[in-house]
Amino acid sequence: MGELYLEACHTESDIVDHLPTFVELAEQLDARTVIELGVRDGESTKAWLYAMECSGGHLWSVDLSPAPTFPTHCWTFIQGDDLDPAVIAQLPVEADIVFIDTLHSYAHTCRELETYVKHVRRGGRIVMHDTELDGALVNEPDTQPVKKAVTEFCDAHGWKWANRTNCWGLGIIEVPE
């Protein structure tokens, strides 16, 4: 996976700037279990898989579309809706990191946050791509629907989050110890 990860880091994409952050987060948390919601063509998946191969961990990914093909043993792909109880039942009960990069609508993001926070261990992270996405790009009335959902979620829980504004934005929520 190392070669695929390095190639992804040097290929223009809507997430390229954040790929090293994923590996760094996994290293910092000594992550062994990551859940990825939204795969598309697998650019973020390459970074998470590289991190899991380095740590001896495992990545579980969910997407509506079929899986891309990667030569690795540390990956489980589930095709389906990430809010479907049958899909959720196939995922680990507890993860070090949950990465969300799916529909980008405000309502869907709110439901994902409330559903998947239960899967993140204390001290873990929820990572959100597209916090700077203009809602008009996804037929959403809110200017930045993902950012709005994250801000309200963190305010409701009394938690802090960091927002990196480059490359469509990346929100990182720390789940308190």
DSSP states along the chain: -HHHHHHHHTS--SSGGGHHHHHHHHHHHT--EEEEE--TTSHHHHHHHHHHHHHT-EEEEEESSPPPP---SSEEEEES-TT-HHHHTTS-S-EEEEEE-S---HHHHHHHHHHHGGGEEEEEEEEEE-TT--GGGGT-SSSSHHHHHHHHHHHHHT--EEEE-STT-EEEEEPP-
Question: Does residue 51 have a pLDDT over 80?
Answer: yes
35 band by pLDDT with thresholds 50, 70 and 90: very high
55 band by pLDDT with thresholds 50, 70 and 90: very high
Mean pLDDT of the chain: 96
Cα–Cα separations (whole angstroms), residue 85 to 39, 76, 94, 101: 19, 17, 16, 19
Tens digits of per-residue pLDDT, 143-166?
899 999 999 999 999 999 999 999
139 band by pLDDT with thresholds 50, 70 and 90: confident
Question: Does residue 138 have a pLDDT over 80?
Answer: no
pLDDT on residue 137: 76
Distance CA 87, CA 64 (A): 11
Distance CA 105, CA 20 (A): 26
Please give the biggest Cα pair distance in the chain: 42
pLDDT on residue 59: 98
71 band by pLDDT with thresholds 50, 70 and 90: confident
Q: Which residue has the tokens 């439901």?
A: 111
> String of b and e for 82-116 (b: at least 16 CB within 10 Å)?
bbeeeebeebeeebbbbbbbbbbbbebbbebbeeb
Average pLDDT in the 57-73 region?
A: 95
- What is the reported pTM? 0.96
Q: What is the CATH architecture assignment of 2-174?
A: 3-Layer(aba) Sandwich (3.40)
